[in-house]
Structure 1
Amino acid sequence: MGSNRNMVTDCLLAKVNFPLYAAEMLTSRHLLVAGGGGSAKTGVANGFEIYELFHNGQHFVAEEIQRHETGSEVIMNMSMRSFQTRSLLVVGQESHSQMFIIHPKVGQLPPREIQHRRESSTEVRQRKNRERTESMGSEKEQDDGQKMKRVYFEIKAADSVQTDFTKSEPLQRVVRISPDGRFMVTGGLDGHVRVWNFPKMTPLTDVPAHKKEIDDIDFSPDSKNYISVSKDGMAIIWSVLKGKELMKLQWTPPEGVKYLFKRCRYATIEGNTDNYRLFTLSNPFGKSGKQKGFLQQWNIETGRLNNIVAIDESLSALAVRDDGRFVAVGTMFSGSVSIYIAFSLQKVLHVPGAHSMFVTGLEFIPVMTKDAPPISSDVEASVVSYSVDNRICIHSLQYRHSLPAWAAVILIVVIMILTFLLCSYFQI
C-alpha cells in the first residue's frame, strides 16, 4: 500500500471470503460489512459479518464477532438506524428490501458463532487477535468467547417489501433510512424513487424521478428532503412528504465532455442538522480519454457549485464523517482512497492502490456517538474502505500540527514589541 506523511496507519483490518458491497457502523465500535457471491452455485456465501474495532496504541485492529448468512441472495446495498435497545438494518436483495432486527447482548457467544470463528479463522485475524492479547493482557486469555462475557448481537429477519418493478430482472440499487428514523427511500432500475414509512415499510410516495436507473440517494440531515442521482445525468432534490421536485443541480462540465453524477452525500456542519452541505461525485460519460472525475461541494440554497476538485480518474465511493469535518473518496480504477477537509476541499491524505479493484464503499469511524464513547486513538480521522477484492482496510490521518495557544500569544506580543520599536526608530 501507499504511504503519506500524514498517515499513521494504513493496514488490512480483515479479509472475508466474499466480495464486499456495503458497510455500516453498527455501534461506535462495531462495523457491519455485507456482500456475497450471488445466486450462482459458486460456493461463495451471501450475508454479513460484524467486527469489533479497537485501537491498541499503535494502530486499529478488527476482531470478528459473528456472521449471518442470507441464503441465495447477495446483499448489494443497505442502511441502518439505531433505536434505544435495537438497530434496524435494511438490506437490498434483488428487487426487495429485507429488514433485520439486531439486538445487542452481553454474554458468551452462541455456540454456532464460536464454531464459525474456529472454522473461518485466517492468518490476518490470528495476527490481530495476538495484537489484542498483547494490548489487553489476561482479558483475552479466555478462548473464543467461551468463558469471557462480551457484546454480541441477536439477529432476526423481519419484514420484506418489493421496491423495484422493472419488468425484466428488477433490482434495487440503493436504500436509505432518514436520520430521524421515520422514512425509508429506495431507488432501482425503473428510475422511480419511492419513500416508505419506517419501520412499517408502508408506501408514502412514488415518484417517477428519472428516465434511467438510480445510482444513489441521500437524505438531508433534517430529514425533510432527499437527493437522487441517476444515469440520466440528473441530480434532483425532492421533498420527502410531498414527493415534489425542489431543485436540480446545475454545472458546466469542462471541455464540453458529458458528465454523470455518481454519488451524493449530505454533511452537517459541526453536527448541526439545520446547517449542512451537499457533496457529489461526477464522472466522465463513456470513453472520454483522460478526463478527470470531480468531487463537488454545492450551495443548497441555489443549486450551484461552491467548490470543486478534479481527481485524476473516475470515482466510485463517497463518505462524510458524522461531524461534517471530513470527506473521503474512493476511485474506480486504481482502488485509491483520499480524505479532504469538507470546508475547503483541501486534500490531507492520499492512499494510492489501497485496493486491487474499485472501492465499493467507505465508512468513517464516528466521533459523535450516543450508544458508547468513540474509539480512543491518536489520530484525527480514520476511514474504513472495502472492495470486491474481499479486503477491509483502514486509513488514518495524523493530527495536523498547529501553533499552541501560548506560542501564539508570545508571537503576537513579540510582533507588537518589534512594531513599536520599528515605529520609534523611524519616529513614526
Structure 2
Amino acid sequence: MAPHRRNIDDVLARINFPLFTLQMLTNRHVLVGGGGGSSKTGVANGFEIFELSHDGKKFHVEEVTRHETGPNVVMNCSVSSSPDKKHTYLVAGQESHCQLYHVNTDFAAQLNGSVETIGNNHEDTGEFRQRKNKTNNNKNTKKRLKFVLSPGDSVQTDFNGTEPLCRVVRLHPNGKLMASGGTDGDIRMWKFPGLEPLAKLKAHTKEIDDIDFSSFGNLLITIAKDGLAVLWDCVKGTEIKRLKWEQPQGSKYLYKRCRFGSIEGQQKSALYMLANPTGVAKRQKSYLQQWYPEEGILKRVTEFDESLSALAVRDDGRFIAVGTMFSGSVSIHVAFSLQRVLNVAGAHSMFVTGLEFLPVSNPENHTVCSVAEAAVLSISVDNQVCIHTLPYRKSIPLWLAIVILIFAMFLTFVFCSYIGL
C-alpha cells in the first residue's frame, strides 16, 4: 500500500499570487507563474524563479528572480533550449497572446550580504560553471546564478470572438516547433523561436484543454472539452487517429490532461491521460490511462475516487504524478504498471494546478535528486509550492529471497512431519 503522509516540511515557498503553471528551468531552478488577473485586486501577475537545494535532511529554496507581467496573468508556459544549448526560451500564455521571453543568465558574487555581478553566461546548460572572480579572491565569496527574463515577440494564438484565451502552449523537445490551443478549438503550429505560423489543425469543436509532443517520432496529442483525444503528425500537420475507449455505461467522460512518456528500453512513446466523469456521471470513478498511441490501444487504467486536475511524467519515463481536484492530493505511480507508490493526502488546501518531477536523465544531476527515488513539485491556487519525495523502496537480493523460500519450505516439512501429516 502506498504511504499516506502530509508534512509541513513539504512546503517550499508561499507566493503572494495564485499559481497556475510550473516548469523546471534548469536541473535545480524552479519557475512558477500565475497571478490574480487584470482586475484591480492588488494581486500581482508574473513569474518567480527559485534555486532548489538539499542539506541532507530536507529541501530548501531561495528566491532568485521575480518578473511581473503587468495586467496579464500567466496561465501556462513552456521552456526550451536551442539545439546548440546557447539560448533558453520561455513562452507563456497571457490572455489571447503567447509571449516569448529570452532567458539570460548572470553570475553574481555574494559576500557579507552584498551581491556583485561578475559576468554573463548565455550558455545555460542547467549546471553551475565555476568562474574565477578576478576582483575578489576571498574564499567566502558565494557565486549565484541569476536570471533575467527579456520579453521578445508576442503573437495572438486564439481568435474566439467573445473571450479569446490561450489555454495551452507547448514546445517540441527539439526546440523547433510550438503548438498552441485556445477557446476557439483550433490547434496552431508555429516555427520556433521565430513564431512564424506553419499550420492550423482543425478537429475540435470546443476549447482546448491540453497538448503534448512525443520525444520519439512526430506525434502530437490534443484534447478538448468536446471529449476528443486526437493524435496528429506534427510535421505533416495531418490527423493520424482519434483515441476511443469503451466508457462505463450511461456515463460521459472528458479528458483533462495528456502527457507522453518514454517506454523503458524502447525508442517508443507511451501516452498517459486523465479522464473525469461529467454530468450525471460525476459520482463515478476518474481514471489515469496508459495508451500505446500509435496502435490506438488503451493498455492500462487505474481508478480514483475524485476528479483529477494535474499530470506529470518523469523525464526517464519511470514515474507518473497525479494531482486531484477536490482534496488537493498528490500521488506518484510506477509508469509501467500504474501502481501507486506514494499518496500525499491534502498536499494543498485547493486543487492542484501543476506538477513537475525533478529531472534525473542527466547523469551529473546527483546533488538534488539522489536523496530519494523520485521527487515531484506541486503548485496550487493556494499560493504554495510543495515537494513530495518517494523514499528508496527497500528490497532484498534475489538469492536471499530464494534462501528464505527454501528455509520456509523446510520448516513447513519439519512441522508436518512432527504432527504426523
Q: TM-score, normalised by structure 2?
A: 0.85
- Corresponding residue of 2:56: 57
Once the 2 structures are TM-superposed, how far is the Cα of residue 405 of structure 1 from its aligned partner? 5.6
**Which region of structure 1 is more displaced relative to structure 2, 24-33 or 49-58?**
49-58
Once the 2 structures are TM-superposed, how far is the Cα of residue 409 of structure 1 from its aligned partner? 7.3
- Corresponding residue of 2:375: 382
The 3-state SS of whatever aligns with 1:159 is strand
* Residue pair 2:6, 2:346 contacting (<8 A) in 1 also: no
Once the 2 structures are TM-superposed, how far is the Cα of residue 22 of structure 1 from its aligned partner? 0.2
Once the 2 structures are TM-superposed, how far is the Cα of residue 299 of structure 1 from its aligned partner? 1.9
- Corresponding residue of 1:265: 259
- Corresponding residue of 1:136: none
User: Distance in 2 between the 1:228 and 1:388 partners?
Assistant: 25
Whether 1:231 aligns to 2:225 is yes
Amino acid across the alignment from 2:400: A
- Corresponding residue of 2:332: 339
Whether 1:78 aligns to 2:86 is no
User: Distance in 2 between the 1:376 and 1:211 partners?
Assistant: 42
The 3-state SS of whatever aligns with 1:256 is coil
Q: Closer, same or farther in 2 for the Cα pair 1:237/1:289, shift >3 Å?
A: closer
User: Distance in 2 between the 1:6 and 1:388 partners?
Assistant: 21
Amino acid across the alignment from 2:40: K
Q: Closer, same or farther in 2 for the Cα pair 1:8/1:359, shift >3 Å?
A: closer
Q: Closer, same or farther in 2 for the Cα pair 1:61/1:308, shift >3 Å?
A: same
User: Distance in 1 between the 2:170 and 2:57 partners?
Assistant: 35
- Corresponding residue of 1:288: 281
- Corresponding residue of 1:47: 46
* Residue pair 2:4, 2:344 contacting (<8 A) in 1 also: no
Whether 1:101 aligns to 2:96 is no
* Residue pair 1:85, 1:103 contacting (<8 A) in 2 also: no
**Which region of structure 1 is more displaced relative to structure 2, 312-321 or 76-85?**
76-85
User: Distance in 1 between the 2:356 and 2:189 partners?
Assistant: 24
Cα deviation per residue 1:14-34 (whole Å; 9 max; x = unaligned)? 000000000100000000000
* Residue pair 2:209, 2:256 contacting (<8 A) in 1 also: yes
Identify the structure with bigger relative contact order (alpha carbons < 8 Å, sequence gap 6+). Answer: 1
* Residue pair 1:357, 1:387 contacting (<8 A) in 2 also: yes
- Give structure 1 stretches of 5+ with no counterpart: 115-145, 419-428
Aligned counterpart for 1:352 among listed residues 345, 350, 361: 345
User: Distance in 2 between the 1:182 and 1:30 partners?
Assistant: 23
- Corresponding residue of 1:132: none
User: Distance in 2 between the 1:105 and 1:64 partners?
Assistant: 15
- Corresponding residue of 1:253: 247
User: Distance in 1 between the 2:235 and 2:57 partners?
Assistant: 48
Once the 2 structures are TM-superposed, how far is the Cα of residue 58 of structure 1 from its aligned partner? 1.2
- Corresponding residue of 1:121: none
Q: Closer, same or farther in 2 for the Cα pair 1:66/1:271, shift >3 Å?
A: farther
User: Distance in 2 between the 1:321 and 1:55 partners?
Assistant: 20
Q: Closer, same or farther in 2 for the Cα pair 1:310/1:372, shift >3 Å?
A: closer
- Corresponding residue of 1:330: 323
Aligned counterpart for 1:298 among listed residues 287, 291, 308: 291
* Residue pair 1:205, 1:242 contacting (<8 A) in 2 also: no
User: Distance in 1 between the 2:186 and 2:294 partners?
Assistant: 25
Whether 1:161 aligns to 2:155 is yes
* Residue pair 1:29, 1:374 contacting (<8 A) in 2 also: no
Q: Please provide the CA RMSD for this pair.
A: 2.6
User: Distance in 1 between the 2:4 and 2:282 partners?
Assistant: 31
User: 5 Å matches for 1:55-204?
Assistant: 55-83=54-82, 84-108=85-109, 148-204=142-198
* Residue pair 1:224, 1:241 contacting (<8 A) in 2 also: yes
- Corresponding residue of 1:12: 11
User: Distance in 2 between the 1:406 and 1:104 partners?
Assistant: 51
User: Distance in 2 between the 1:54 and 1:72 partners?
Assistant: 32
Q: Closer, same or farther in 2 for the Cα pair 1:38/1:92, shift >3 Å?
A: same
Structure with more of its chain in helix, by fraction:
1
- Corresponding residue of 1:368: 361
* Residue pair 1:102, 1:153 contacting (<8 A) in 2 also: yes
User: Distance in 2 between the 1:370 and 1:47 partners?
Assistant: 32
Cα deviation per residue 1:228-275 (whole Å; 9 max; x = unaligned)? 000000000011122211011111111320001111000012486x22
- Corresponding residue of 2:393: 400
Once the 2 structures are TM-superposed, how far is the Cα of residue 4 of structure 1 from its aligned partner? 2.9
User: Distance in 1 between the 2:367 and 2:320 partners?
Assistant: 19
Q: Closer, same or farther in 2 for the Cα pair 1:371/1:196, shift >3 Å?
A: farther
Amino acid across the alignment from 1:314: S
Q: Closer, same or farther in 2 for the Cα pair 1:5/1:229, shift >3 Å?
A: closer
User: Distance in 2 between the 1:412 and 1:104 partners?
Assistant: 58
Once the 2 structures are TM-superposed, how far is the Cα of residue 303 of structure 1 from its aligned partner? 1.2
* Residue pair 2:251, 2:280 contacting (<8 A) in 1 also: no
Q: Closer, same or farther in 2 for the Cα pair 1:408/1:52, shift >3 Å?
A: same
Q: TM-score, normalised by structure 1?
A: 0.84
Once the 2 structures are TM-superposed, how far is the Cα of residue 291 of structure 1 from its aligned partner? 1.1
Cα deviation per residue 1:372-408 (whole Å; 9 max; x = unaligned)? 5562442110111100110111111111111136635
Query: How high is the sequence identity, in percent, across the aligned residues?
Result: 53
User: Distance in 2 between the 1:9 and 1:269 partners?
Assistant: 35
User: Distance in 2 between the 1:377 and 1:100 partners?
Assistant: 31
The 3-state SS of whatever aligns with 1:255 is coil
User: Distance in 1 between the 2:7 and 2:390 partners?
Assistant: 6
The number of equivalent residue pairs is 384
User: Distance in 2 between the 1:26 and 1:70 partners?
Assistant: 18
The 3-state SS of whatever aligns with 1:254 is coil
Cα deviation per residue 1:171-217 (whole Å; 9 max; x = unaligned)? 01000000111100000000000111111110111012200000000
- Corresponding residue of 1:240: 234
Whether 1:218 aligns to 2:212 is yes
